[in-house]
Amino acid sequence: MQKVLLVDDDEALRRMMSIRLSDAYHVVDTGEPEKAVGLALEHRPAAILLDLMMPKFSGFELCQNLHSLSYTSRIPVFIVSGESAVRYRQHCFSLGAQDFFEKPVDFERLRRRLAEAVLTKPIERRSQVRVGLRVPITLRGKDPEGHSFEEAAATVNVGANGFLCSCNALLAQEMIVDVCISSKIEQPAGRARVVRKDDQAVLFGRYGFTFVGKTDAWVLQDP
């Protein structure tokens, strides 16, 4: 049974769509758009059904990221949204979407488009990839002088085993920090080591991190 990834923050709609499609597809769903790319890499779905207006990450941003990555670019993305198709269809197509479905969904047409999508055999893709994705995070640890610090930051790109972020704190090479994803409920993502700083001459720089321990809350996971 082919997999379909459904990304929508409306739990009731996800449940309804999963039931309506479960006779023909294994539906993997999430209400957390920041996990969409990781789930796409893990499950390699035949198609992705994507809402537009979601907290933290919009469907526009996700659609563009999915289309721009060689690892996910050939997965058809279908927009399923309560927004106007007349207003947003062309913009979504320019970002890489294959089709646009307004809510309430025309399931007959959706099934037909999904059937067309699964005719194309998925191409094998590597899982180790960096994705240009902004994830709000909190870093905690001790600075080079031994003083405890807590710093709000945001990633520039993320991978399954590390990330690049801008940070105002002065961090040293090989320093290990605690990493949490900043959301309504803070989620510990693991511990990470500083492996590089892009510009040693300025205080506010970009730091590269590699995880030394990671939880399931991180946005990308190894398949």
Confidence of residue 180 (pLDDT cuts 50, 70, 90): very high
Identify the weakest region by mean pLDDT among 12-16, 67-71, 122-126, 207-211: 122-126
66 contacts 35 by C-beta, under 8 angstroms? no
Per-residue pLDDT tens digits for 52-73:
999 878 889 899 888 877 678 8
Domains parsed from the chain with CATH numbers: 3-117 (3.40.50.2300), 136-214 (2.40.10.220)
Identify the weakest region by mean pLDDT among 6-20, 66-80, 96-110: 66-80
Q: In what order do the strands lie in the sheet with 26-30?
A: 26-30, 3-7, 47-50, 77-81, 99-102
What pairs with residue 218 in β-bridges?
none
Q: Global pTM?
A: 0.58
What mean pLDDT is predicted for residues 208-212?
91
